[in-house]
Structure 1
């Protein structure tokens, strides 16, 4: 039995030998028709407001290439369908259940249609907030999840979380003590009680331990209203690249912070407080310095500005 591997016309010759000793060759042709054209609807069939969406529609049978078009219904706001069958949103704009019909046409003009439904869910996560960490140091970060969607289920679908850390599948908290330097990119699926889905990519950087950041000064000089002011705060230790924040107190109006090396080719960061104070007063405040690995230190300072 001959089973054609592809559609098309096959030519072959059969040789016959008769009982009387005669023989003959007979030429034949066999036409194998293409398989019926079928449109397919692969997963995922859900989008999330605010997230990009990308799905390649596929077909089987018929004669490639295929072209696609929308024949009935409406695509969700923000979505487009290309003639190659690529359904894209950059990003999805509105939630809802959207039903529509697509038509696929093959190279011979054979057509078939498929009724599709795409559910676009409200965005359910503000941020997972997984910042960098340092080997051997406690790490804890969690996502900001919409309380209306609780309880949640989080699952790492691909990639890995840093060794030494665990992901709480209900709260989204990532915690523990990292053990290995590296860059980790877990692909996380979040599913809430209302059936909403989000797929999130995050990169978590784990750096080597080089000590805890330390301030190298204990106090700052006072200033005068209307006069140039400059004070230096040196910070050492940790992984450098310190970010300053002021979690408590009031910074003197008119002053700003500049970051410069303490000396040429120095690995120590210096924060220069510069400007012209505008208002007399006593200004206590707390400076928090955090390095690139998430380690931080805080110190309280006071600047007195006189008229």
Structure 2
């Protein structure tokens, strides 16, 4: 008859038993074996020490019957056919430390390790007795780590004591959708479908129907990720304040951010809350890697880049004057900023007949009448940087002479007449070519011909008038 023992253990005393054995194989050749026992787990460490003239050697461990191959952890090659682990062949004379671990039920077991140096097979130990005491069945693991939605999760529950094999089940509660408990191995694994906190109890039963259980809480978080789907952060402007906050979601807040590689512009700081702030001193393109750690020490990282540019400004200093009835053209210019720009007359208006191309900054047209306009021009780049500039634009009438003939004068009588004209922009400069009557002169600033003619004459002269219109 088998008895059902129910235990609930929160504290366990672990007892180690250490057995060592040394063998001298030949001149300069030896081997050592140390066995450690921790409840149902046996760990064997073998040291093979060849002599300086050893050409090759190998090591074999022969397992006793009753050891379950699935419980063996080793760094050699396991053969299920003859129940051995083999190491080698090692084609040198280097000392090697070999090990393996297996689980067994309480009882007495005989181990036999053999080593062969240059084909001479010897036992390190033959039928070495290993005694494994009985310990109550127990689920050793106290807590299990959290998981994330849509991320693969796997945790192996550790059990000690009792008799192999073990069988696992849920005593109460339920696992999250997408996660299951392996009844043979005790592994909790899967990809959770929804977030939340789940409380459940796992039971384990051994071959002798001994029973133990432990309650666990499993927290499922949303996927730990950067909120920003972008790689290129917003551009900044040299000598202007910059601020951008890199954010994360999911996982377990609070988060800690840090820059783990790359550079940001001089004048900016990368803070542990994820914000980049300051006043950049230099222009350029910068690339860096940001890392964020949540409260469960999960780590994610992502590369970002951003650009610092000069502020935009209008470089056209003044607008040339225009003449009514004649074509007008002026290309506005700017510097700094980024990308395409949009021009506008922010305040005031252009003279009637002129237009501003908002894409190119080209002013063209033909003014219908003379006018004097005070306007504010603006230009804006694709990031919203905007520059303004006060301008004046004067359209003047076409400069023309009113009469082609000057009034007649009298010999030896004082004469004073102004050249009559219309349009243009004062001040004017008057010049002529040809010959004035003797005794008369032209004032270049006023356009007045004056003096006392000395004799009767008839004169043809070419008058040139230059106004102050700005080209």
Q: Which has the higher contact order (CA 8 A, sep 6+)?
A: 1
- Bigger Rg, which one: 2
Identify whether the pair has TM-score above 0.5, normalized to the shorter chain. Answer: no
* TM-score using structure 1 length: 0.41
